[in-house]
Amino acid sequence: MKQINNSVYIISGASAGIGAALAHELAGHGARLVLIARRADVLATIRQQLTNAPVHQLVIGDIGERDTMERAVETAMTSFGQIDGVICNAGIGLSAPVAQIEIADFQSSINTNVYGVLHMIQVSLPVFMQQQHGHLIVVSSVVGVQGLPYSGGYCATKGAIERLCDALRIELLDTGVALTVVRPGTVTTEFVQRRRGLNREVRATGHTGIPAAIAARRIVDGIRRQNRYIYTRWQDRLLLWGSQLVAPLADRVLARSIRWRE
């Protein structure tokens, strides 16, 4: 099993939600971190709360801009001399019927959810190749496999990175670089409140999601095992399997479970 102590991880979207929870979990295992986010004050507060706080480095910027990741890699190599893992976690939601998606909102989601991941992969891979080891962890979603009504724009961005990762995994065979895709379901964070779009869907479900700390614990366990895929709940894996097995029935269930308020 992979050891976390003294390893170096870069985490994007580290100021809240799963990213912040992963920072706490990894720091608790003895990792040294480079944390990326746009909100400098919030990110500084997160660092103060971490185990061995002074060691961890901050990079303020938008991961949709390649320069942000370049600065993160430079910071990691200057401060620690190595990078053991890169966690592509930053993401932005989008809620609207497909016919009503605003192009500006969709483009913003693509910039963060797709280009941001691509920047992180492309900038970190040369370091991993030179080291002959490294671990790419890409936070996708169950909706990257199974689309949901009124979340089509967001689903599309997650589907895009799933296909990128499918290709990349084959390209990385025998290089010493591992690739893990994380597929969370609903996690209790500020993600829904901060997403773009019209946000008028109504879900007929009482499930509010699992706490980010529990999701982070399960993700770090999967990172240590270098799993191909990580699910934060076994129910999400089961739901994906069922939706693919009986797709027409799954469509009808989703149509009845998620409706839109005009």
Domains and CATH numbers, the chain: 8-260 (3.40.50.720)
Full-model pTM: 0.94
- Residue 258's Cβ-count burial label (10 Å; 0-12, 13-18, 19+) is middle
Task: Pull the structure tokens for residue 156.
Answer: 């599309």
Q: Is 245 helix (H, G, I), strand (E, B) or coil?
A: helix
E-assigned strand segments in the chain: 8-12, 32-37, 57-60, 85-88, 94-95, 134-139, 177-183, 187-188, 196-197, 201-203, 210-211, 229-231, 258-260
Strand 85-88 and strand 196-197: the pairing is unpaired
What does the pLDDT read at residue 81? 97
What does the pLDDT read at residue 200? 86
Q: Is 136 helix (H, G, I), strand (E, B) or coil?
A: strand
- How long a stretch of residues is the chain? 262
Q: How remote is the C-alpha of 252 from its chain's centroid?
A: 29
What does the pLDDT read at residue 205? 67
pLDDT, tens digit only, all 262 positions of the chain? 889 999 999 999 999 999 999 999 999 999 999 999 999 999 999 999 999 999 999 999 999 999 999 999 999 999 999 999 999 999 999 999 999 999 999 999 999 999 999 999 999 999 999 999 999 999 999 999 999 999 999 999 999 999 999 999 999 999 999 999 999 988 887 777 788 988 888 887 656 789 999 999 999 999 999 999 999 998 888 888 888 888 888 889 888 888 998 7
- Residue 205's Cβ-count burial label (10 Å; 0-12, 13-18, 19+) is exposed
- Residue 25's Cβ-count burial label (10 Å; 0-12, 13-18, 19+) is buried
What's the angle, vertex CA 217, arms to CA 242 and CA 90, rounded to 5? 80
What does the pLDDT read at residue 19? 97
Give the residue from 183, 123, 180 showing the smallest Cα distance to 159: 183
- Residue 106's Cβ-count burial label (10 Å; 0-12, 13-18, 19+) is buried
Task: Pull the structure tokens for residue 137.
Answer: 């962890």
Q: Phi and psi of 172, rounded to 5°? A: -90, 0
